[in-house]
Amino acid sequence: MAGTVAAIGGTVTRFKAGDEVFGISRGSFAEYAAAREDKLVRKPAGLSFEQAAVVAVSGLAALQGLRAGRIAAGQKVLIIGASGGADQVIDYTREDFTAGAAGYDVVFQLGGTYSPAAIKRVLTAHGTLIQSYGDGGRWLGPLPNMIKAAVLNRFTGQTLKAFTATVTAEALNEIKDLIESHRIVPAIGRTFPPTEAAAAVELIEKGSPPGKVVVVVD
């Protein structure tokens, strides 16, 4: 979320009413939302609220996930579910990358339904799979793929592991610094009013829209 602080709790010291902030909160589809002090930082200068609202989750997942893969200069990295900044783009509706030759040092699965067994075929002998989440079914979510990765880890020289981003003020400030130095630019695909929040969620569930989807509460 991103917005203007309306009021603060008695123990809050980092913000005051009127500050423009972004981060993570509960109930962010509403006119007012409550957030913990350590889940917010000041909004980057010159950035719209819409742009700021989309960077906390995706930005931290990208930054921390790639670090978890211990990427190094010269490595070949595949990101499943990426939305920008690629040397080569694979259209998953036309091409099955898991049928190709091994050659990726790191595969980072942000979204998608590829199993660890399928992805490991395109990893180098000592490659790494970082799996943020996968569609393991309506009730179990990513759990089946996480279990599969843990089992496969015991029988291969490759590294297959699950990943969850950690939201802290320090991490959010790092994203803020990257934005203010123009190293990353949030891309908005579509915006929706609160009355169409269900349509916004449905758009995301149907696939990967071009750019981020935002619900704007005036």
Q: Which residues of the chain have pLDDT under 70?
A: 84, 112, 133-156, 208
What's the confidence (pLDDT) of residue 157? 74
pLDDT given for residue 93 in this prediction = 84
Predicted confidence at residue 150, as pLDDT, reads 59
Looking at residue 138, its pLDDT comes to 40
Distance CA 112, CA 153 (A): 20
> Would you state the pLDDT for residue 9?
95
φ, ψ for residue 20 (rounded to 5)? Answer: -95, 125
- pTM score, whole prediction: 0.80
What's the confidence (pLDDT) of residue 141? 46
- Contact at 8 Å (CB) between 90 and 80? no
Which helix H or strand E contains 106, and what residues bound it? strand 104-109
Q: Quote the tokens at residue 31.
A: 């006119």
| pLDDT (0 to 100) of residue 135 | 41
CATH 3.40.50.300 fits 2-57+166-215, yes or no: no
Q: What residue ranges of the chain are covered by domains with CATH 3.90.180.10?
A: 2-57+166-215
Separation CA 143–CA 202 (nearest Å): 23
**Residue 21, CA distances (Å) to 30, 36, 129 in order:** 16, 12, 34
- Pair 35, 1: CB distance under 8 Å: yes
27-51 burial string, b = 16+ CB within 10 Å, else e?
ebeeeeeebebebbbbbbeebebeb
pLDDT tens readout for residues 144-189: 555 655 565 655 678 888 888 889 999 999 999 999 999 988 989 9
Q: What is the pLDDT of residue 193?
A: 95
- Per DSSP, the three-state class of 5 is coil
- Shortest CA distance to 175 belongs to which of 67, 41, 50? 41
